[in-house]
Structure 1
Amino acid sequence: MKLMILVQRSWSSVISANRLAGHGRRRFGSPLAVLGLSLVASMAVFAADPLPSWNEGPAKQSIVEFVKATTQEGGAQFVSPTERIATFDQDGTLWVEQPLYSQLFYCLSRVPAAVQARPELAHVEPFKTVLAGDRAAMAKLTLDDFLKIAMVTLSGMPTDEFKQQVHEWLAKARDPRWKRPFTELTYQPMKEVMQYLRDNDKTYIVSGGGQDFVRVYAEDVYGVPPEQVVGSAGATEYGYDKSGKPELTKLPKMLLNDNDAGKPENIYLLVGRQPYAAFGNSTGDKQMLEYTNSGRS
């Protein structure tokens, strides 16, 4: 059994998270988020409201009824616990993405350090524009420009060093609009859905963002362990540090592109089971929703 729900979103009551903007991404034609749902939770949860931030109405009612149907042993719509896999897009679905993806703010913050390590970049675009701090010029940077910045700022260091850099940035960085830590700008209703499912199934984040980046905070922020994060990923190279200790170094080479068709491809590669629940809202999530909804009754 599958369930597709269109959920109205507003700032006062964010029921789903709209990934409505982003470089190279096409918006849906209305402020609606498409949720491909097949939900599970323990019967013990039903005694209380598992979705207190959701407005009462058809969307919430459909979710709760669907959970009951798919967790009732012996029922016609019962789903085996081993098959209960739920996948969630992150940017715009679980936390904010305006005016830029949060990871791009991180990449921009790393440009000075990257230029210090490679001084020749100071005279090369788009690094020259970022260093100048001209916001109007930066607003005109293209997707290719941001990809160049990402390739430089997300590579060249051991994986442990990268993890530490992200930890330190998250502790200090503030969203320019809300003036709050990025990890606080999450959508409570979607986190409630994650918790609703977690008693009886596994919840995965399947993000177009960097897999290594999201894994740093996913467990603390969403309750999703790093091994249940699927995202865009760069290659690594095995080697040894100066003391002879083995280490992995991040390379400026794309290994996995976790957008569009890449989402179901990487779910198959890294999860090994077809989801029974998929949450997303943009054309970048379309194939993941289709994959989740295919081939099953």
Structure 2
Amino acid sequence: MSKISLTTASLWIACAAASSAAESLPSWNDSPAKQAIVNFVERVTTEGSPDYVPPAERIATFDNDGCLWSEQPAYFQLFFAIDRVRATAGDHPEWQTEEAFASVLKGDLKAVAASGEKGLMQLVAATHAGMTTEEFTAEVSAWMAEATHPQTGKRYTEMVFQPMLELLDYLRANGFKTFIVSGGGIEFIRPWAEATYGIPPEQVVGSSLKMKYEVRDGTPVILKLAEIDLIDDKAGKPVGIQGHIGRRPIFAAGNSDGDFQMLEWTTAGEGPRFGMIVHHTDADREWAYDRDSHVGQLDRALDAAPDRGWNVVDMKQDWGVIYPE
């Protein structure tokens, strides 16, 4: 093949890749953030490239709250737990003075949210202990079908980020296996993750309660216990990834300091790595918050991003839309 033909072929391949990215990520503005993603994917998926990564090693992990869907004014699972606390409070008079139950019953959402992932899992543990996994799944599914956000009026699964849905699809189309790695409860996310994100239950990593096997009325079941097993947040995220996935990701996305260790561990590995932070900067279409937020605080990770090569996605500048239309 002549030199001119090789050049023409190279230009054609480059144009085809750019066109494919534009079609796959239509809600992303043509910005450095989008280009960084496309460049990384092209590098690791092009056979013969020095940065080529075999498909089996193309692991991408995503935080859920604030990364794949909204999280203000509190984690959405917290609204689920609050509804459950209120529904069962009559059986627990001690909750009137015991935190974080007392704040729930007083309607002090900010105080409840300040208890973080650990407080959330304590609420879930207390209100769901003794339920089978099937019963819990049914309760989550019923709640998701009916509950709406207190400010937007949308169903919670309508408040996923359209650009992130496109990114998940784009990565999977290029041989990546996508995982949710969330501080939220694993059993809370699994019932709806596949329909919403295209991520099956076995690819969800999250905070969890201890469980036990028993035979109830002749039927084998798994029971949820009132004891926390793993808080999949901060340093717990790499531990959860190793325990559930067994491979270090090459792509990790988060939005808060709770994702710092996941980003740190991912990008410290050998070979090409991609760390991404979703920065909430759009008060008109969603919320604007970072360092001083009681939910999804982004401080340490935001400062560390430039030196560590993490890509900060500015929602206001980089996304043409926020929610699916």
TM-score (ref. length: structure 1) = 0.79
Aligned equivalent of 2:222:
248
- Distance in 1, matches of 2:211 and 2:205, equals 16
Are 1:140 and 2:96 matched, yes or no?
no
Which range moves more in the overlay, 228-237 or 46-55? 46-55
Shift of 1:58: 1.3
SS in 1 for 2:199: coil
Q: Describe the superposition over 1:221-255 as per-residue Cα deviations: whole angstroms up to 9, x where unpaired.
A: 0000000000001011111222x101011001111
Are 1:107 and 2:78 matched, yes or no?
no
The correspondence for 2:98, drawn from 119, 122, 125, is 125
In structure 2, the CA distance between the partners of 1:146 and 1:86, relative to structure 1 (3 Å rule), is closer
Shift of 1:290: 1.1
- Distance in 1, matches of 2:39 and 2:109, equals 48
Aligned equivalent of 1:98:
72
Shift of 1:270: 0.6
In structure 2, the CA distance between the partners of 1:59 and 1:239, relative to structure 1 (3 Å rule), is same
Aligned equivalent of 1:291:
265
SS in 1 for 2:208: strand
Query: One-letter code of the match for 1:266?
Result: G
Q: Is this contact kept in 2: 1:107–1:154, CA < 8 A?
A: no
Aligned equivalent of 1:3:
none
Identity of aligned residues (%): 46
Aligned equivalent of 2:45:
71
In structure 2, the CA distance between the partners of 1:147 and 1:57, relative to structure 1 (3 Å rule), is closer
- Distance in 1, matches of 2:22 and 2:269, equals 34
- Whichever structure has more helix as a proportion of its residues is 2
Aligned equivalent of 2:240:
266
Query: One-letter code of the match for 1:176?
Result: P
Shift of 1:195: 0.4
Task: Output aligned runs, 1:1-80, within 5 Å.
Answer: 46=20, 49-80=23-54
Q: Is this contact kept in 2: 1:210–1:231, CA < 8 A?
A: yes
Q: Describe the superposition over 1:233-288 as per-residue Cα deviations: whole angstroms up to 9, x where unpaired.
A: 1011111222x101011001111110111111111111011101000121111111
Aligned equivalent of 2:127:
153
Q: Describe the superposition over 1:66-115 as per-residue Cα deviations: whole angstroms up to 9, x where unpaired.
A: 21111111111111111000000000000010001000000000013333
Shift of 1:43: 6.5
Q: How many residue pairs get matched?
A: 251
The correspondence for 1:163, drawn from 111, 131, 137, is 137
Q: Is this contact kept in 1: 2:44–2:52, CA < 8 A?
A: yes
Query: One-letter code of the match for 1:169?
Result: W
- Distance in 1, matches of 2:19 and 2:94, equals 55
Q: Is this contact kept in 2: 1:114–1:152, CA < 8 A?
A: no
Q: Is this contact kept in 1: 2:248–2:269, CA < 8 A?
A: no
The correspondence for 2:214, drawn from 239, 251, 276, is 239
**Structure 2 stretches lacking a partner, 5+ long:** 1-15, 272-325
SS in 2 for 1:252: strand
- Distance in 2, matches of 1:247 and 1:44, equals 50
Aligned equivalent of 2:163:
189
Aligned equivalent of 2:191:
216
Q: Describe the superposition over 1:148-169 as per-residue Cα deviations: whole angstroms up to 9, x where unpaired.
A: 4232123221110000000100
Query: One-letter code of the match for 2:208?
Result: A
- Distance in 2, matches of 1:112 and 1:238, equals 29
Q: Is this contact kept in 1: 2:121–2:207, CA < 8 A?
A: no
Which range moves more in the overlay, 253-262 or 45-54? 45-54
Query: One-letter code of the match for 1:186?
Result: V
Query: One-letter code of the match for 1:280?
Result: G
Q: Describe the superposition over 1:33-59 as per-residue Cα deviations: whole angstroms up to 9, x where unpaired.
A: xxxxxxxxx969827521111111211
- Distance in 2, matches of 1:124 and 1:148, equals 15
SS in 1 for 2:214: strand
- Distance in 2, matches of 1:123 and 1:62, equals 51
Q: Describe the superposition over 1:163-197 as per-residue Cα deviations: whole angstroms up to 9, x where unpaired.
A: 00001000110000110100110011111110001
In structure 2, the CA distance between the partners of 1:100 and 1:178, relative to structure 1 (3 Å rule), is same
Query: One-letter code of the match for 1:125?
Result: E
Considering only CA atoms, is the larger Rg found in Structure 1 or Structure 2?
A: 2
